[in-house]
Amino acid sequence: MRGELVAIDLETTGLDVNTDRIIEIGAVRMKEGEVLDEFSELVNPDMHIPERTTLLTGIRTADVADAPRLPEVLPKLLQFVGDLPIVGHSVGFDMSFLNKQGVFTTNTVLDTYDLASVMVPRAPRYNLNSLAVNMGVDLEDAHRALDDARASGIIYWLLYEKTLQLPVTTLRAIVDASQGIEWYARPTFESALTEVLEKAGDTPDDDDDIIEVPSKIAHLRPLYPNDEITPLEVDAVGAVFQRDGELAQEMETFEYRPQQENMARRIAEAFNSGEHLMVEAGTGTGKSMAYLVPAFEWASANNERVVISTDTIALQDQLITKDIPALQESLGIHVNAAVLKGRANYLCPIAVEAMKRRGPTNIEELRVLAKILVWQLESDSGDKTEISLRGGAEHSIWNRLSASENQGCRGNACRDELGFDCPFHQAYKRAEAAHLLIVNHSLLVADAKAENRVLPEYQYIIVDEAHHLEEAVTSSMRFVIDEAAMMRRLDDLGDSRRGLLADLITALRKSDVPEKTTKRIEAFATDVNAAANDMRVHVTGLFKAVKKLARSLTSIKQGDYTVTVRIDEQAREKSAFQKLQQQWEILAQFMEVISEATGELSSVLGKFNEYDIDNYNDLLRSTQTVARYLEDTRTTLHTLVTAPDPNTIYWISVTPDMKRIGLNTAPLHVGPVVTENLWNSKRSAILTSATLRTSGTFDHIRERVHADMVSTYEVGSPFDYKSSTMVFLPTDMPEPRESQTYQQMVEQAILELAVALDGRVMVLFTSYGQLRQTSRIITPVLANQGITVYDQSDGTSRQNLLEGFKTTDKAVLLGTRSFWEGVDVPGESLSALIMARLPFPVPNDPVFAARSDTYENHFNQYAVPEAILRFRQGFGRLIRTKTDRGIVVILDSRITTRSYGASFIDSLPDCTIESAPLNQLAKAARAWLNP
C-alpha cells in the first residue's frame, strides 16, 4: 500500500492483555520504505517487570521507574499516528493493548506476519528476526520497540513490492477469497490489485481459459523386469568397497571399512537367494552405501525395481541428492532414481480450484489458500515439504487440498481440466520408471491398505531406519476423529447457498440434465442439509460426553501438552462412558442417514457423465470423498463405542484447554500387517538400522514384526569407542523419583559441564516438563558466561535449533524425543552428551499400555527392550566420525542400582567407563577431552 503509514511495536510485561502492561512504545512514520519520523517512549507500568521479560527485552524495572505512565504517553502517540494505516508484526497483539485504551479503533491495520506467510511461502519461520535476516533487513536490537517497528515497516514495503509482481489472476483470487473474513492482509492485496489493474489498463492478463502446458513426464516409460534373473557376483560387489576398489578410486572421502564390505556382500547374497534379512550396522559403517551398491547392481542387471524405505525425510534427501548421484558417477551405472511420497504430501490443483470457487470458510483456510496460490507460481513440485505450514490447523487444511482426498484419481483429471499434469501424477510416473524408488515406512502400509495402490509393483525392498517400522505401521493405520474435523466436513457439504451442495445444484441447473431429475436431487440435497444441521447438535453432544469421560479418567492441568487417555475395559464401566454411549446412539441415527444419502448421491452423480455438467469430475470426487469420510467415521465410532475390536487400541487425546479433543484407534499388533505385506509378498526384504538388537539379540524386534523366520546379521562399528568415548556414571545421583534433589543435581551437572567445556553440550530429556524446568534455571546462569541455550520447548523447529547450536561458538542444546536420533553434529561442536533419564516409554501411553498388557512380564519383556533401543540411538548422537572424541553422562542412577541397568551398559560398544561423584564431572571431562 502506497502513501504514509505508521509501523508500531510494543514491549509489554507479558502476553495477557487483561493483566499485563505496556512498558515501551516504538512507532515509525514511513512512506514507501523510507523513514519520515520516529517516536519512542518507555512507559512506567506501575508493576514489577518479570525476569523473563527483562531477559528478552533488556528492560528492567529500574529503567522505567522515572518514565511517564501510559495516560501521559498516549496523547503524543495519537498525534504522531493520526488516522494513518498502522502496520506491525503479529499486530493483533499490539492492537489489543492499544484498543483496550480506546485508541486506533478505526485505523486500517496491516500485519507483516499475515502478509509474509503468504508472500514468502517457503520461509522456515515467520518471526520478525528471521524475516529480517531472510529479507536482508538490519534489525540492530531485536525485542526493543523502535527497532522492531522500523524493521516491520521496511519489511512491509518489501513485501508490498512483491505483491505487485503477482499475476492479476492470483491477486484477484486472494481478494475474492478474503471477502467476508477479517484479515489484516486483505487491504494490502486489494491495494496491489488496484495498482496492477491501473498499470495494465483495460487489458490485464486475466485469461481463465485452459492453457495446455507441455507434459514433463510424457517421455517416461514404466519399468518391466527381465524375464530371467541374473544373480549378482558377490565378490564383485565386495570388491567395490576394497582399498583399491571403484569407490576408493572415485571418492576423495572414501574410507575402507570391512564392516561396509561385509554388509554389502550379505545383502547381495540375500537378493540372489530371495532371502529376507535383518542387518544391524553400527554407527560409522556407511550402511546406506553398503545397501545401495547391491541395489544398484541388482536393478541394473535385472531391470528390476528396488524400493528403499526410510523413516525420515532427512535420510530420503541424503539418498536422492547425495549418495545415489555419487554412486552413479563412481560406478558408471545409470539407473533411474525417484522419490515417491504418500498422496497427502502432494497438492491437488483441482481441490485448490474448488476451494477458490466455493470460498474459504474461516481465517485459517484463507491463509493457507492464499499461501498456496502464491507458492504455486514458484513451484511445480506440489510437494508439502517445500511450503511452510504452521500448526495443526494449517496441516489439516493442506490434507483436504491434497491428493489424499481423491484416492481414485490417477492424475488425468488435471490435464483434462486444467491443462497440466498434477504433482502426484508426475511423481507416480517417475516412480513407475524408476529402478531405485525412495519411499517412507508409512507409505508402505498406507499403500497396501488403499483401494488404489500408490506404489508400482516391486519385489525387492530395503527398509532403513527399521527400528521405526512398528511405530510407522501403527501411525499409518491410526484413525482420528475430532469434532472440528466432523464439523468441517459438514461445512464442506454446505447447503443450497454455499458449499458442495450449492455447487452441485448450480451446476445441474445450468446443465442439460432433465429438469425433473434436477428438482429431485435438489429436494434430496435439501433433506441432506436438514439432517446435517440436526447432526451438528449431536456431534457437539457426543464430544461433550467425550470430554466428561476424559475428565473422569485423568486429571488435566493447564500447561500440559496433549494428554492421552486409554479407553479400556475399566473406562467402559464408568457412568461417563454410559452417557457417551447414549449420545452415540442418537448421533448414529443421523450419521447413518447422511452417510447413506451422500453415498447414494455420489452413486447417482456417477451416472451423469453423459451430461454436460460444469466441474463434473470435481463434484463427483468431492461427493465421493464426503461419503467415504462419513461412512468410515460412522463405522469407527460404532466399533469404538458399541462393539470394540479386541485387536484395536482406543483412546482419547485432549489438549489442556479442552479445545481440541479426539477419539483415536490403532492396531494392537502390526506383525500380521508386516507379514502380509513384506514377508509373504516380497522375494527379498532387507531391514537395517544401527539399533535392532537388545541384550545382544534380535529377539525383541523379531517378535514385534513377526520376523521369526528372517535371517539376521550384525556388523559392528569401525569406531574405536574405547579411545574416543568416556561414559561417566555419577555415584551420588538420587533416583529420578526423588524429584527435587534429583532435578537440582541435573541442573548442577549441566551448568558445570557447560562452563567447563565452553558449551558444546547436548542434553537429552524424556519429557518437555523437565526440559522447560531445567531451561528456566540454567539459561540466565549460562548467559552470564556467554553461553547460549537452545531449547526445544519454545516451539522452534528441530532444524533451526540444530543450525543455531552448530553455528554458535558457545552453546548448549536441550532436546526431547526427536533429538534422541537422526541428529548429526560431527566434530568439536558437540563434545558432551547428557542423558537426563533412561528413555523408558511413558507408562500410560495408550499404545504402549495396551501392548504391555499382552506380556506376562511387561516391564522386562517390553519396556526395557524398547528403552534400550532408544538409549542406543541417543548414545549414537555423540561420535559421528573416526576423529570425534567426547563424553556421555548418564544422570539416571537406575543404570547402576537396578538389575536391568546392566542391560543398558552392555548394549553400548566397548567404551571407557568412569564412576565418580558428580562434582568430579567437569574435571573428568576436561581431562578426557584434553589428554
**Mean pLDDT over the full length of the chain:** 90
For the chain, give the number of residues.
931
Q: What is the model's pLDDT at position 492? A: 80
Highest mean pLDDT among 492-506, 509-523, 574-588: 574-588
Q: For 809-831, how does the pLDDT look when each residue is reduced to its tens digit (9 = 90+)?
A: 899 999 998 899 888 888 888 99
Q: For 60-78, how does the pLDDT look when each residue is reduced to its tens digit (9 = 90+)?
A: 999 999 999 999 999 999 9
Report the share of the chain in percent with pLDDT over 90. Answer: 63
Asked whether residue 205 carries a pLDDT value surpassing 60, the answer given is no
Overall average pLDDT of the 751-778 stretch: 93
Confidence of residue 556 (pLDDT cuts 50, 70, 90): low
Q: Specify the DSSP class assigned to residue 783.
A: H
Q: 471 Cβ partners below 8 Å, 6+ apart?
A: none
Residue with cell 491501473: 198
Asked whether residue 413 carries a pLDDT value surpassing 80, the answer given is no
Q: What is the spatial distance between Cα 746 and Cα 767, in angstroms, rounded to a whole number?
A: 14
Cβ density class 808-829: b for 16+ within 10 Å, e for less: eeebbbbbbeebbbbbebeeeb
Q: What is the model's pLDDT at position 795? A: 65
Point out the residues that are catalytic: 143
Overall average pLDDT of the 86-94 stretch: 95
- Residues paired with 714 in a beta bridge: 280
Q: What is the model's pLDDT at position 408? A: 63
The arrangement of strands across the sheet holding 725-730 comes to 788-791, 811-815, 761-764, 832-835, 886-890, 725-730, 912-916
> DSSP string covering 1-35, please?
--SEEEEEEEEESSS-TTT--EEEEEEEEEETTEE
Q: What is the model's pLDDT at position 609? A: 84
Q: Is residue 297 within 8 Å of 421, Cβ to Cβ? A: no
Q: What is the spatial distance between Cα 482 and Cα 653, in angstroms, rounded to a whole number?
A: 9
Q: What is the model's pLDDT at position 407? A: 66
In 3-state terms, what secondary structure has residue 879?
coil
Q: Is residue 221 within 8 Å of 456, Cβ to Cβ? A: no
Cell numbers that stand for 355 in this block: 476451494
Q: What is the spatial distance between Cα 858 and Cα 865, in angstroms, rounded to a whole number?
A: 10
Cell numbers that stand for 783 in this block: 548467559
Q: What is the spatial distance between Cα 16 and Cα 97, in angstroms, rounded to a whole number?
A: 9
Q: What is the model's pLDDT at position 561? A: 65
Name the residue with higher pLDDT: 889 or 826: 889
Q: Is residue 147 within 8 Å of 26, Cβ to Cβ? A: yes
Amino acid (1-letter code) at residue 912: T
Confidence of residue 452 (pLDDT cuts 50, 70, 90): low
Q: What is the spatial distance between Cα 119 and Cα 123, in angstroms, rounded to a whole number?
A: 9
Q: What is the model's pLDDT at position 53? A: 86
In 3-state terms, what secondary structure has residue 147?
helix
Query: Rounded to whole angstroms, what are the CA distances from 262 to 160, 287, 289, 290, 894?
Result: 59, 10, 12, 8, 37
Q: Is residue 410 within 8 Å of 452, Cβ to Cβ? A: yes
Q: What is the spatial distance between Cα 729 and Cα 287, in angstroms, rounded to a whole number?
A: 31
Q: What is the spatial distance between Cα 464 and Cα 38, in angstroms, rounded to a whole number?
A: 58
> DSSP string covering 863-881, please?
IHHHHHHHHHHHHTTT--S
Q: Is residue 363 within 8 Å of 186, Cβ to Cβ? A: no
Strands 460-463 and 684-689, bridge-based pairing: parallel
Q: How many CB atoms lie within 10 A of CB 523?
A: 10
Name the residue with higher pLDDT: 186 or 418: 186
Asked whether residue 410 carries a pLDDT value surpassing 80, the answer given is no
Q: For 319-330, how does the pLDDT look when each residue is reduced to its tens digit (9 = 90+)?
A: 999 999 999 999
Q: What is the spatial distance between Cα 273 and Cα 268, in angstroms, rounded to a whole number?
A: 9
Overall average pLDDT of the 146-167 stretch: 94
- Residues paired with 347 in a beta bridge: 402
Q: Is residue 806 within 8 Å of 829, Cβ to Cβ? A: yes
How close are the terminal C-alpha atoms of the chain, in Å?
63
Confidence of residue 771 (pLDDT cuts 50, 70, 90): very high
Asked whether residue 563 carries a pLDDT value surpassing 90, the answer given is no
Q: What is the model's pLDDT at position 557? A: 59
User: Exposed, middle or buried: residue 650 (CB in 10 Å: 0-12, 13-18, 19+)?
Assistant: buried
Residue with cell 511461502: 121
Q: What is the model's pLDDT at position 449? A: 67
Q: How far is CA 103 from the centre of its chain?
A: 40
Alpha helices in 164-230 (DSSP H): 168-177, 186-200
Q: What is the model's pLDDT at position 498? A: 75
Confidence of residue 221 (pLDDT cuts 50, 70, 90): confident
Alpha helices in 418-564 (DSSP H): 423-432, 441-449, 469-476, 483-493, 499-510, 515-553
